[in-house]
Structure 1
Amino acid sequence: MDDVQDYASFYSPVAGVSLFSEPDILTFRNAFYICGWNNFDHLHGVYTQEGYLIPQAAFHCQWPPVNKGQRPWCDPNIARGLPVIKSGIFVGHMHEQYGHFITEFVSRLWVARKLWDGSQKLIVRSIKSRDDLFRAPWLRALIEAAGFREEDFYFPETSFTVEKLVVASPLFSEDSVCFAGMADYCNEIGAVLTPPELNSEAPRRIYLTRSKLICGTVRIDNEHEFEEALSERGFEIVHPQDLSVADQIALFRNDNFVVGQIGSAFHTSIFVPSPQGICLRSKVFKGGGTPPALSYRLMDQVNGAAFEYLDFPTLIESEHPNGHFYENMTIGDIGLAADLLADRAAKRETSFHLSNMGRGSCVEEADLTAYELIGHSGSAVGSDRRTAMASTYSGATIEKLLLITRRDPANRQRAFLVSAHPDAPALMLSNTWRQGPALPVQVEHLDDGTIAMRSHENNAYIFACHDRRGQGLHAEGPQIMAWERFGIAETSLHLRHRGSRLHALLSLIAIVHYGASPRNLAYYQARYPDLLAHVSGLDPAFRV
């Protein structure tokens, strides 16, 4: 950040649109629905009794948003002879294509969970029959996980009028906006299908391949050979279409690192909080990969995701095109491409990355490093989750204490003590008043490889003093003696539980005090207001 005084403008509450507010829910009297056929968007529409297209029930694309061909006005006189139903809730387009089902149907279904009492018709816009749609196991699984049954939905076969129609703004609008409620709602559905507590194995590297597809957008003709190269580098090769929707969701849990071509498979990530990985751009665009659709990044910024959008390494046009695909490509150097992805995955596994930072950018690596602390007696420094006291005690409620500072050796003096527990519990030092999830300290690096720490509150050195249980940490030392010396051991900041409070705490330290981008601070302001208040309330002189 260039100027500390400008920081407040990034996190002060402001009036106006917030992606973390709830979209509008509107009620219309005597609205009418024009039924259509086939895949012509302009033949479907929900209109007010005056004949105006209801924007919240319309479908838009691109940026700036444009109507997908639906007529903005329809003669209301045609509604006079239509059948009438008493009340209904419009729940969007139940699409047979997986990605569009999520973006055009799930994004509107949320209002039914909120308001439906069983008496209103849940009005579905569809170009397929109920029977055709519910033959898809993934669609049925998602509907049931959301708490609905096939027979709950009304598939109009004729146009009609609704005496009282409820229409909610969608939680997601293609390439335009994504409300945080989309992540919340989809996370809940995902938790029903794949309970998070069932995932305990070590994180995996996963490559989502398309090599079995017989038609589609992009075909890579030597993807089988690429799979073999990635397998040799620790990747698990997965064909998403062979898995149930529950198993596909589980791929993004457990801090797995998921790599694959941009496409509908990555829409699945919205069902899991804070997923991570690499989305490969494989379509040709001005000599490089096609820029990712804004839709993916919109979902990322409200879901705490950490995806990078990269050109597919060494990808060139294929000399043997297959007419069943829009584009045909080949990997020019399989070994190099596999090495580049493996190296990138390894770097991500050993460093700390903030979540995606909004519409214009993606993952940002934070200038953070972490150390475990060792007291002069050789005991590890920790903190008690019950009392918040830092010490070298041992026991079931003692959690490892971390010293968080910058990587740059010239800027390691300003640091923070935090608990390594995912919940980021409060800490305190004896002889100080300050309590909180992060305690600022000044670090002095000593000639023997140890460090000394001064409390930023009272400028006293911190030492480990013997008591009956071990050594409690006190901030009252006037000089550096044996007990004021601490050993340090660098540790990885690639955290399990990327969606945890600890990850948010470290992200806020990086943003507020170490110069990381504040572009998506609204995410932390909405999700972790107490952590933001604590971190931003620390002494401004302590910042970069």
Structure 2
Amino acid sequence: MMTLVDCPIPALQGSVFPGQPEVQIRRNVIYVPRADGGRDTAFGLFSETGRQILDHALFSNYPQTVKSQGLTTSLTTSSHRLRLKERIIYGGVIGNHYGHFITECLGVLVYCLQNPDPERHILFHSDMTVGEIFATPWMAELFSYCGIKAEQILIPHLPVIVEELLLPGQAFSEDGFIYETYGKICRQIGERALPQEMRERKVQPVYLSRAALKTGSRQLVNEDALIKALEQRGVKIVVPEQLSVREQISLFACHPIIGLMGSAWHTAIFTDYVRGVALCFDDHVYRSFPLMDAVHDARVAYVQVKPSGQTYVPSPHGFHEACMFEKPEDVANALLVRLAQLMREEKHPPAPRVSRAMLPTPSLGERIGIFKLYSGLGEPVMLHTASEIVSCCGSTNRWHVPILALIVGDVAFLCAEDDCLPCLDIVHDEREPLLSYRILREGERVSLQHPKTGLWLKAPPAHMGLPLHSDGTERLDWEQFTLQPHNVTWARGRLQQVLTLLGHKCRSGTWDEQSAHQTGLAAAWHRMFHEVEETSRD
């Protein structure tokens, strides 16, 4: 019986940016110290009018929300307040947490690493002193690889006015977005850290133990049994907190990695080659991890133990949640099997989860059918134009427009009945104006299957107030839809352009590539048909 299942990976569309973020210069910035660590609600950088400069506040989750900071401060730019008159650069937030340092500090500090200046003063927020920071071995080590000395660091212990502050944009925001330059600079840090003899690739897997953690979000209470089973199968066991940063980077650069998802995995960003299996407590993958994977050569499988194979138990002191695996030896076996599969896939990429024999094939002469989309319960599927959320609606207003299904053979291209063709926000799918699905017909109903994941589009009933999501594993009531023929002779703008392009593609096999790309039709077509087209060329 299968012990592990792959977790759905969050869609990253619109969250991975090329290049680097913009840099601003702000004048008369009110710097409020961070006195209470991660719980501090008062700290931040504020304009002279007392408003938080949100581009440099700490955010998390997706959609992004501010972690703890307030939007305003009552402090003023008093003429009697201490003022820093030289031009200073901002370096981010330093906290005594390895993972948060990588995400909250290095995400801003990349500008200083791209533009090194040993004489430049760098302003940070921290509840630690400079002495405490450099007395913490892993912090001192990371700063040494960054080429930043203690005397460059400014951490005022009282509010000050910075007359001219250079503000590099965040190159990474927790769960939110990432710039390619973040991965590039972090790899450079890794290159400085690792001598050549610490880069030799090895086949022995390494397991990242959480045994040394005294606090955290989650704990596996019988991790010792899992470790014993892995050790018996030849896996090297390491405790990251007992290693130097250099040694941790070397592990990711040299070995296939196995471990519970957590901050230790952030070390992967310092290498240009990562292979591993991250074990999640449930099917939720924190978006930060695949965001980092997206900007370097990483192949990580995110998996969870099937719910029947784990039990939640009372949390030990210092942890929010805890669980135990019913059969740790089975989990150990399954982790190694999944790792071996991942390594094989690197040499022989797998076929898509949808059977190639069942994929639709594009053919000339297909007619386009235009339909309105309804759930299996008969509720209209609508787009709320202001939020871009797609859901079933019991009642509608002027902000709602119907979702259309443009049918070509056994393929449905979903879009909004709006001449501006807004993006569709469907959970666990890309955020694009057109999304393509394979159609499976059953009587008067249809099911819509994602061509890459093989999962089914789900439509929760209107009274639940939930959006559509593309993660159904079975075709039950929520995974079924009905189609009602619809006339869109009035169509204008981008919607009309898409209908014209699609019609031309079906008749002649060609279209205007630039227009198809600009409307999003080319991407929707490619995600459905590219596997078939590549096979025919072979």
Same fold (TM > 0.5): yes
In the other structure, the counterpart of 1:295 is 288
Closer/same/farther in 2, CA of residues 74 and 251 from structure 1, 3 Å limit: same
SS in 1 for 2:224: helix
1:138 aligns with 138
Where 1:303 maps in the other structure, the secondary structure is coil
Summarize the Cα distance change of 1:339–1:103 in structure 2 as closer, same or farther, 3 Å threshold.
same
Percent identity (aligned): 26
Deviations along 1:45-96, one digit per CA (max 9) or x if unpaired, are 2122343322232111121112234333345744432211121111110111
> Structure 2: which amino acid aligns with 1:299?
M
SS at match of 1:327: strand
Measured on the aligned residues, the alpha-carbon RMSD in Å equals 3.2
- 1:23–1:169 CA contact under 8 A, matched in 2: yes
**Paired residue for 1:258?**
257
Q: Please report how far the alpha carbon of residue 150 of structure 1 lies from its aligned counterpart in structure 2 after TM superposition.
A: 1.7
Q: Which has the larger radius of gyration?
A: 1
Provide closer, same or farther for how the CA distance between residues 44 and 230 of structure 1 changes in structure 2, counting only shifts above 3 A. same
Question: Which amino acid in 2 is paired with 1:228?
Answer: K
- 2:109 corresponds in structure 1 to 109
The equivalent residue for 2:19 is: 21
Residue in 2 that maps onto 1:344? 338
- Residue 68 of structure 1 corresponds to 67
* Counterpart contact for 1:51–1:76, Cα < 8 Å: yes
Which amino acid in the other structure matches residue 167 of structure 1?
Answer: L
C-alpha contact (below 8 Å) 2:36/2:127 kept by paired residues: yes
Instruction: Could you tell me which runs of 5 or more consecutive residues in structure 1 were left unpaired when the two chains were aligned.
Output: 1-15, 283-288, 355-364, 369-406, 410-514, 518-535
| Counterparts in 2 of 1:326 and 1:341: CA distance versus 1, 3 Å | same
CA distance in 1, matches of 2:181, 2:314: 45
Cα deviation, 1:392-412, whole Å, max 9, x if unaligned, reads xxxxxxxxxxxxxxx999xxx
Maintained 8 Å contact 1:207/1:238: yes
Report the Cα offset of residue 126 of structure 1. Answer: 0.4
Match of 1:329 among 320, 323, 333: 323
**DSSP-derived class of the 1:145 partner:** helix
Does structure 1 retain, via aligned residues, the 8 Å contact 2:42–2:73?
no
Deviations 1:205-227 (A, max 9, x none): 11111234444333333322222
Give 1:366's match in structure 2, choosing from 345, 350, 354. 350
> Per chain length, whose mean CA-contact separation is higher, i.e. which structure has more relative contact order (CA < 8 Å, sep 6+)?
2
SS of residue in 2 equivalent to 1:211: coil
* Structure 2 CA distance for partners of 1:198 and 1:222, relative to 1, 3 Å: closer
Q: How does 1:498-513 map to 2 (within 5 A)?
A: none
Mapping 1:421-440, distance limit 5 Å: none
SS in 2 for 1:351: helix
Contact preservation (8 Å) 1:56, 1:168: no
Q: Structure 2 length as normaliser, TM-score? A: 0.60
Aligned to 2:55: 56
Structure 1 residues 130 and 312, CA, compared in 2 at 3 Å: closer, same or farther? farther
SS for the counterpart of 2:124 is: strand
Counterpart in 2 of 1:152? Answer: 152
> Structure 1 residues 71, 198: CA separation in 2 closer, same or farther (over 3 Å shift)?
closer
Shift of 1:329: 2.1
Output the CA distance in 1 between the equivalents of 2:163 and 2:17.
Answer: 31
Instruction: After TM superposition, give the deviation of residue 271 of structure 1 in Å.
Output: 0.7
Write the distance in 2 (CA, Å) between the matches of 1:43 and 1:30.
18
Instruction: Determine if contact 2:77/2:161 at 8 Å carries over to the other structure.
Output: no
Contact 2:114 2:185 in 1 (8 A): no
Match of 1:309 among 302, 307, 312: 302
Residues 214 and 21 (structure 1), Cα distance of their counterparts in 2 relative to 1, 3 Å cut: closer
- Deviation per CA, 1:483-510, whole angstroms, max 9, x where unpaired? xxxxxxxxxxxxxxxxxxxxxxxxxxxx
TM-superposed CA distance for 1:328, in Å, is 2.7
- Decide whether aligned partners of structure 1 residues 541 and 202 sit closer, same or farther in structure 2, where only a CA change above 3 A counts: closer
Local SS of the residue matching 1:191: helix
What's the offset of the Cα at 1:266? 0.3
Give the equivalent residue in structure 2 for 1:33.
31
**CA offset digits 1:139-188 (Å, max 9, x no partner):** 11000001111221001112111221100111111111011111111111
Letter of the 1:68 counterpart = K
- Superposition deviation, residue 120 in structure 1: 4.1
Q: Is the alpha carbon distance of 1:77 and 1:227 closer, same or farther for their aligned partners in structure 2, counting shifts above 3 Å?
A: closer
Question: Residues 353 and 33 from structure 1, CA distance in 2 versus in 1: closer, same or farther, beyond 3 angstroms?
Answer: farther
SS at match of 1:311: strand
1:69/1:198 CA distance change after superposition, 3 Å: closer
In 2, Cα distance between equivalents of 1:23 and 1:107: 10
Alpha-carbon contact 1:83-1:161 (below 8 Å) kept: yes
Letter in 1 for 2:260: Q
Matched-pair contact (CA < 8 Å) for 1:110–1:185: yes
Letter of the 2:276 counterpart: G
Relative to structure 1, the CA distance from residue 63 to residue 408 in structure 2 (aligned partners, 3 Å threshold; closer, same or farther) is closer
Contact kept in structure 2, 1:41 and 1:68, CA below 8 Å: no
Q: Equivalents in 1 of 2:275, 2:263: separation in Å?
A: 16
Aligned mates of 1:353, 1:53 — CA distance in 2: 49
Shift of 1:201: 4.8
**TM score, norm. by length of structure 1:** 0.59
> Residue type matched to 2:99 in 1?
G
Q: Is the 8 A contact 2:48 2:76 kept in 1?
A: no
Could you give the per-residue CA deviations for residues 100-139 of structure 1, whole angstroms, max 9, x where no partner exists? 0110101111122344535542001001222222222111
**Aligned counterparts of 1:54 and 1:120: Cα–Cα separation in 2:** 23
> 1:96 maps to which residue?
96
> Which residue identity is paired with 1:335?
E
In structure 2, the CA distance between the partners of 1:160 and 1:324, relative to structure 1 (3 Å rule), is closer
Would you say how many aligned residue pairs link Structure 1 and Structure 2?
352
Q: In structure 2, what is the Cα distance between the partners aligned to 1:42 and 1:319? A: 32
* Partner Cα distance (1:75, 1:326) in 2: 34
